[in-house]
Structure 1
């Protein structure tokens, strides 16, 4: 039988700062803590508050700064998460963040998936898993569920009010989904899939590309949830 975990003074101070930041941004109850790797860079983006701002990330660009892996502590809460890296505490709220997903293939058996999130100050935080822990899939899944839970109802409400939503170059209304000037009506749309890094729609049984790479689409899992909900088999 083991006794309670003893924390160093520095660990106690870090935990206090994390808890204070989570409290200020009303993240709710802590659900889990993970170790990861992080890289930060200022977001090159224009933000608008409200659902169109939450689901539209304009001018997203890759940073030219060198990628240096820094060990990070990830604390996941009901309404968001904190990322403690290099002495800073980044706060991410699920209802306002934009999450971009990229993958780098190292060999035929291993793909390094990177999640890039925007924090409450508009700064990008790139998160990677640590091979020595192997729990990156768990925190990525929790982030996905949290963002869908927070943003899907807002997106559906905006569509019901006649608004047009954008996920990168892909747009949605209550009647259609499309890319550029081309759109198809929801009764024709069956499913959305990601194939070799590209977004495709099943339209009347035929898979059609939407001209966007998954790495260019903010919150692609919210987009997928909307397609499943608004298609002929979905329930509004």
Structure 2
């Protein structure tokens, strides 16, 4: 069989070729789609993660693995498909998903099952769904940092999306942007990252009471004497 280094090189070349072939003149919609694709384009770390995933599957599902991938061509096709389909997730998320399916199932997983595993179970981390988070972010009172958030991820996704952008655009425009940031932050949380708490403005040490009319007049008179007017 083709060795790992050769396979990685081959997949990387094919990805680069497919990206170069798409850099033709395009309208605004095509440019936006191209930008989204670029944001989720496979990296070297993704390629390495997919190779590790298939190595784990070969060890854990030995007979099923060789039955599904009977020759090198089928194996390469599967790796390319999984690579491009799972590039939306961070490499560590892909590996976490692989460990999850191995622990939970005795059968070689489908790509759909793997995607579900990578998506994780946000509710176990106190995370709400993306649309509910978007609604919370839009309805939160100012100052945003002082608001009682259901989870810091909701706040940080709002910061990443830009509060003014969320407030000044319709949901059909703003929500996809917020959702992308929120899901990425959720991935980080599910991978063990501790998000910093929102920086609420500090309360003043002392609370000043407005001066009375008589006190204002007295201070004004003292100021006139100092200035000799």
Which of 1 and 2 has greater Rg? 2
Greater strand content: 1
The normalised TM-score by structure 2 is: 0.26
More helix by share: 2
- TM-score, scaled to structure 1: 0.26
